[in-house]
Amino acid sequence: MSTLSSRENWSRRAALLRPSGDNFIDGRYVAAQAHGRFDSINPSNGQLLAQVARSQESDVDLAVNRSLQAWRDRRWRGLAPRQRMDVLMRWADLVEQNTEELALLETLDMGKPINDVLGIDLPEVTRTLRYFAECIDKMEGSVTSTAPGALHLVLHEPLGVVGAITPWNYPLLMAVWKLAPILAAGNCVVLKPAEQAPLSCTRLAALFMEAGGPAGVFNLVNGLGPEAGRALALHPDVVKLSFTGSTTVGKLLLTYAGQSNMKRVALETGGKSPQVFLPDLYDLDAAVDRAIGGIFDNAGQVCNAGSRLLVHRDIHDAFVARFTSRAPQLYRPGDPLDPATTLGPLVSQAHRLKVQRCIERGIAEGARAVVMGEALSGHLEQGAFLAPTLFVDADNRMSIAQDEIFGPVATVIPFTNDDEAIALANDSIYGLAASVWTRDLNRSHRFVRDLEAGVVWVNCFGDGDMTQPFGGYKQSGNSRDKHMMSLMSYTQTKSAWMATT
Ligand code: NAD
């Protein structure tokens, strides 16, 4: 648990950090073989944080080979389930014991407010590790009904060396949603974290060893997507690739699989989630507060961000008025090391420019942007901050309603009846999540049935626990994180048909 409570204390602690940006292969930190490096920059002030290994094909090959060796000699899958469970449980304990350091690394690396990392990300990381640890000895095969003369066993076995490629928006959590079930199922893994925020995952790899994980079972390569990521995705000894990131890169990974060894590809990709507000909702003020959180949490850098607000015409004006007056109270930009900050910078200046271009395009297409921000001064002027924006007078065909902006930008679109709301909600290439706000149970059931999304929330947004399979319909992906079904997706089925006499 954290003992630091003020910005000054966190800043002092941050100044003492010496993060490693090396690869972690076969139980130790190693530099990239060609000694290439790139800078990791703190997006809240533009300062250099660390230099990170810029791995190439040969580094990835080394990591995969070491994982393959660990797979072949069964040093992990050969352990009793309880032994693997103990390692994952100790790993979760170590994450808790190193909370301050991991939280600081995330905050400095990608700009997320420290209180969000402490209150949301890290507890979710330990919950994920413990959930999948607990699942290990609950996995069961089956014996099917056969005629006399045969015994038929259906067995679930791990796959081999799995590659994981993850994004920067929840660096540790997105990685652990992959690592925990991959390892729980008995596989070995090579992780390539996002180049924008690799430092917390790099630390996590060493904690796996401290927890008693055998060397070589979990290897990590840092580097750029088109270099290290591509090499991992093309590697012939990687039997499955588990990816969270953009839809564009997800499509590339499918082609890499076809060009290499037809590896399985699990995709958790982009979103443009609609939230539908019906006029009979319970409490407009409370619903608007959740709508604000649904888009401005993590500065809108959330795959399931509720970026399309479909609001019934009867409540549209009240909704917009409440939204624009409350949002600046709830989301104040500031130093992410300040526990009072609720809105950090975007992950980089490059990403801020991309989001700004999306805003300019929305204005050019005829929508009206309501900007709800205040100027930042002092050292934060160098940061990648962007004021929250709400678009009104918009329609669903505009780019601001179709493209994933991945920043603090929401678009309000009015509708007149349920059919229209459902048609608008489904008019998207994405289908990650959706919500409906109504007090009418029958109405909500219809929305649950008709909304094309992997997750549908009723009278809430973003809620869930480890029993919730998380993933998308359509171009939001083809897989599910969390839940036992994620664990099973890292296994393959063997049929053992035994003739008996
Ligand atoms: P991104 O696709 O740019 O990068 C994701 C990862 O892919 C990074 O590690 C990157 O290095 C790697 N990569 C990039 N090009 C590659 C290539 N040619 N070959 C192999 N790997 C490559 O995404 P991002 O900007 O890091 O993250 C934001 C995206 O992630 C958004 O689209 C968001 O919706 C999505 N996301 C989805 C979920 C989900 O559960 N569906 C969760 C979080 C984020």
Atom 18 in ligand 1: which residue has the minimum CA distance?
226
CA distance 59 to 52: 13
Q: Band the pLDDT of 375: cuts 50, 70, 90.
A: low
Report pLDDT digits (tens) over 12-70: 999 999 999 999 999 999 999 998 999 999 999 999 999 999 999 999 999 999 999 99
Q: Which ligand 1 atom sits nearest the alpha carbon of residue 351?
A: 25
The single residue listed with the structure tokens 């037809």 is 262
Ligand 1 center to residue 115 CA distance, Å? 24
CA 306 to chain centre: 15
Contact criterion met (CB below 8 Å) for 288 and 321: no
Candidate list 135, 188, 201, 303, residue with the active-site label: 303
Ligand 1 center to residue 282 CA distance, Å? 37
Q: Which ligand 1 atom sits nearest the alpha carbon of residue 195?
A: 11
Predicted pLDDT at 377: 66
Report pLDDT digits (tens) over 274-315: 999 999 999 999 999 999 999 999 999 999 999 999 999 999
Ligand 1 center to residue 226 CA distance, Å? 11
Q: Which ligand 1 atom sits nearest the alpha carbon of residue 432?
A: 41
CA distance 127 to 466: 8
To 5 degrees, how large is the angle CA 383–CA 388–CA 391? 140
Which of 303, 346, 481 to mutate for ligand 1's pocket (most ligand atoms within 8 Å of CB)? 303
**pLDDT exceeds cutoff 50 at 1:** no
Ligand 1 center to residue 194 CA distance, Å? 7
Which of 3-12, 184-193, 327-336 is the least confident region?
3-12
Predicted pLDDT at 304: 98
Ligand 1 center to residue 363 CA distance, Å? 27
Predicted pLDDT at 78: 98
Coil/strand/helix, residue 198: coil
Cβ contacts of 62-66, under 8 Å, gap ≥ 24: 62/25, 62/33, 63/23, 63/25, 63/190, 63/219, 63/220, 63/221, 64/161, 64/163, 64/190, 64/219, 64/232, 64/235, 64/237, 64/238, 65/237, 66/25, 66/26, 66/216, 66/219
Q: Band the pLDDT of 380: cuts 50, 70, 90.
A: confident
CA 332 to chain centre: 23
**pLDDT exceeds cutoff 90 at 98:** yes
Helix axes 313-330, 284-296, angle to 10 degrees: 60
Percentage of residues in the chain with pLDDT exceeding 70? 98
Q: Which ligand 1 atom sits nearest the alpha carbon of residue 194?
A: 9
DSSP run (H or E) holding 98: none
Atom 9 in ligand 1: which residue has the minimum CA distance?
194
Average pLDDT for 147-153: 97
Architecture of the domain spanning 7-269+478-495: 3-Layer(aba) Sandwich (3.40)
Which of 109, 170, 174, 269 to mutate for ligand 1's pocket (most ligand atoms within 8 Å of CB)? 269
Query: Burial, 74: exposed, middle or buried (Cβ in 10 Å; 0-12, 13-18, 19+)?
Result: exposed
Query: Burial, 54: exposed, middle or buried (Cβ in 10 Å; 0-12, 13-18, 19+)?
Result: buried
Three-state helix/strand/coil letters over 101-117: HHHHHHHHHHCCCHHHH
Average pLDDT for 202-224: 98
Percentage of residues in the chain with pLDDT exceeding 90? 96
Predicted pLDDT at 332: 87
Average pLDDT for 425-432: 98
The set of protein residues with a Cβ atom below 6 angstroms from ligand 1 is 165-169, 174, 192, 194-195, 225-226, 229-230, 233, 244-246, 249, 252, 268-271, 303, 404, 406, 432, 472, 476-477
Which of 246, 351, 355 to mutate for ligand 1's pocket (most ligand atoms within 8 Å of CB)? 246
Report which residue type is found at 374: E
Contact criterion met (CB below 8 Å) for 140 and 231: no
- The CATH fold of domain 274-465: Aldehyde Dehydrogenase; Chain A, domain 2 (3.40.309)
Contact criterion met (CB below 8 Å) for 286 and 439: no
Q: Which ligand 1 atom sits nearest the alpha carbon of residue 481?
A: 40
Atom 10 in ligand 1: which residue has the minimum CA distance?
225
Atom 15 in ligand 1: which residue has the minimum CA distance?
225
Tokens of 496: 């053992």
Q: Which ligand 1 atom sits nearest the alpha carbon of residue 223?
A: 11
The single residue listed with the structure tokens 């060894």 is 261
Three-state helix/strand/coil letters over 309-348: EEEEHHHHHHHHHHHHHHHHHHCCECCCCCCCCCECCCCC
State the pairing for strand pair 240-244/161-165. parallel
Q: What is the pTM of this model?
A: 0.97
Report pLDDT digits (tens) over 239-271: 999 999 999 999 999 999 999 999 999 999 999
Give span(s): CATH 3.40.605.10, the chain.
Answer: 7-269+478-495
Tokens of 155: 């067995």
Give span(s): CATH 3.40.309.10, the chain.
Answer: 274-465
How many CB atoms neighbour CB 294 within 10 A? 24
Which of 56, 128, 234, 249 to mutate for ligand 1's pocket (most ligand atoms within 8 Å of CB)? 249
**Catalytic residue flag (residue 135):** no
CA distance 166 to 177: 10
Q: Write down the mean pLDDT value for the chain.
A: 97
Ligand 1 center to residue 459 CA distance, Å? 29
Residue with the larger pLDDT of the pair 501 and 87: 87
Contact criterion met (CB below 8 Å) for 259 and 275: no
**Catalytic residue flag (residue 268):** yes
Predicted pLDDT at 381: 82
Average pLDDT for 418-431: 98
Tokens of 65: 């080979």
Atom 43 in ligand 1: which residue has the minimum CA distance?
303
Predicted pLDDT at 91: 98
Candidate list 106, 195, 227, 268, residue with the active-site label: 268
For the four alpha carbons of 390, 391, 395 and 398, in that order, the dihedral sign comes to negative
Predicted pLDDT at 460: 98
Ligand 1 center to residue 270 CA distance, Å? 8
Q: Which residues contact 108 (CB under 8 A, 6 or more apart)?
A: 14, 17, 42, 44, 49, 199, 337
Q: Residue 267 pairs with which residues in a beta bridge?
A: 243
